[in-house]
């Protein structure tokens, strides 16, 4: 199998699977228990927190709340902060290319709970203009949520500039969904108040995620119960998931530049191929994350192409897996100003450090054959 759908999920590192099995098998006790077995399990949780904070350079400024996913982390950030601080203000700002777990959460806060919501349009290159954030801020703004890297087109938002504007011109906090960014681009982690990360996007395990929270920030928990995770996320934690997430973050950050250079070469090869094709429009901007390359077909049906390639053992996607079953159009591509037809007919190829140059060459040959063979 040639797997080119790494923005949907990545293959777990073999060593992380082994570590998970060892911890789950030998240190299975409840980490909140007072006995020795519980304390041994808690050591892995505490170590996991330190590893993540150290890897991201926020040991002194942030704390880690372990979650089941970045989706949960995004919901805890937005709802937890909005509910806690509604007396201070009720205005939220997001962009129009946010992940569904941010967009739908923000819309629920607006529609069900009466919050005021501003949705900023990105520019034709797919990123939020800092000046638009500045103009949208009001005295009632309490939270701005802007993703670091878009999961469909790979566009990179200027998080450092946005953080500076939010903090200088308002009392709001900045939330960043960094699911597609950790280990792929550098970020000003210490300037971000709330940061969501996901294990399975960086060769970790599904079911692992975290919300990094500035130490001076208060949230209302979404899950009530025994008061675990600083009282913000009650439930019995999995030391194995927490620890393997931490190791995945550490490895991703450490290998960021090395893997980035290699993946950039894969992206360049494929981009050059696409730019030569008259029936293909490249959607991902030039300065996007090299891990994601999105195109639209002008005379073939993308879903048919994806299926034909899948039958040959080559896995790509047509729309984000986060809403592939429900949506027929890429709203991120539409946000670039593309037509509805092009936005409905996209291919997303996403790379990993385990992808090889041969994988890309085989994919190009297979795509040529498929485009030649299938009807429009």
Instruction: Give the whole-angstrom CA distance, residue 185 versus residue 100.
Output: 22
Instruction: Write out the E strands in 184-275.
Output: 194-198, 209-214
Residues 6+ apart with CB under 8 A from 168: none
Instruction: Give the whole-angstrom CA distance, residue 16 versus residue 97.
Output: 32
Tally of residues, the chain: 376
Residues 301 and 341 sit within 8 Å (Cβ to Cβ): no
Q: Residue 208 CA to chain centroid, in angstroms?
A: 13
Q: Classify residue 113 by its DSSP letter.
A: H
Residues 180 and 291 sit within 8 Å (Cβ to Cβ): yes
Instruction: Give the whole-angstrom CA distance, residue 315 versus residue 121.
Output: 31
Write out the two tokens for 21: 């099995």
Give the active site residues: 322
Instruction: Give the whole-angstrom CA distance, residue 36 versus residue 33.
Output: 8
> Helices 239-254 & 14-26, crossing angle to 10 degrees?
150
Instruction: Give the whole-angstrom CA distance, residue 232 versus residue 278.
Output: 52
Q: Classify residue 8 by its DSSP letter.
A: T
DSSP string, 282-306: E-S-TTS-TTEEEEEESSS-HHHHH
Measured CA angle at 183 (ends 50, 12), to 5 deg: 85
DSSP string, 123-164: -TTS---HHHHHHH--TTEEEEE--SB-TTT--B--HHHHHH
Instruction: Give the whole-angstrom CA distance, residue 177 versus residue 102.
Output: 8
């Amino acid at each position: 199998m040639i797997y080119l759908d790494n923005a949907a999920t990545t293959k777990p590192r073999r060593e992380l699977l082994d570590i998970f099995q060892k911890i789950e098998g030998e240190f299975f006790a409840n980490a909140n228990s007072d006995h020795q077995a519980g304390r041994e399990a808690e050591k892995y949780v505490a170590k996991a927190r330190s590893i993540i904070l150290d890897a991201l350079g926020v040991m002194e400024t942030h704390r880690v709340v372990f979650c089941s996913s970045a989706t949960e982390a995004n919901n805890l950030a937005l709802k937890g902060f909005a509910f806690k601080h509604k007396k201070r203000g009720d205005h939220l700002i997001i962009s129009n290319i946010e992940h569904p777990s941010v967009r739908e959460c923000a819309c629920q806060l607006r529609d069900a709970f009466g919050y005021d919501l501003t949705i900023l349009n990105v520019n034709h290159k797919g990123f939020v203009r800092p000046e638009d954030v500045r103009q949208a801020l009001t005295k009632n703004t309490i939270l701005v949520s802007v993703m670091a890297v878009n999961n469909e087109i790979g566009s990179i938002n200027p998080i450092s500039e946005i953080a500076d504007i939010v903090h200088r011109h308002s009392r709001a906090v900045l939330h960043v969904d960094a699911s597609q960014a950790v280990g792929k681009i550098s970020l000003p982690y210490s300037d971000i108040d709330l940061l969501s990360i996901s294990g399975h996007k960086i060769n970790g395990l599904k079911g692992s995620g975290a919300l990094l929270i500035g130490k001076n920030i208060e949230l209302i928990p979404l899950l009530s119960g025994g008061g675990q995770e600083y009282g913000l996320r009650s439930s019995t934690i999995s030391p194995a998931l927490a620890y393997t997430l931490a190791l995945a973050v550490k490895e991703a950050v450490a290998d960021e530049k090395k893997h980035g250079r290699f993946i950039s070469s894969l992206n360049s090869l494929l981009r050059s191929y696409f730019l030569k094709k008259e029936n293909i429009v490249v959607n991902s901007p030039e300065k996007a994350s090299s891990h994601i390359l999105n195109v639209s077909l002008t005379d073939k049906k993308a879903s048919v192409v994806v299926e034909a390639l899948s039958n040959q053992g080559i896995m790509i996607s047509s729309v984000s897996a986060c809403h592939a079953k429900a949506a027929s159009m890429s709203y991120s591509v539409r946000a670039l100003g593309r037509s509805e037809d092009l936005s409905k007919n996209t291919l997303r190829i996403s790379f990993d450090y385990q992808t090889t140059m041969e994988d890309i060459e085989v994919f190009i040959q297979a795509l040529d054959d498929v485009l030649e063979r299938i009807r429009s």
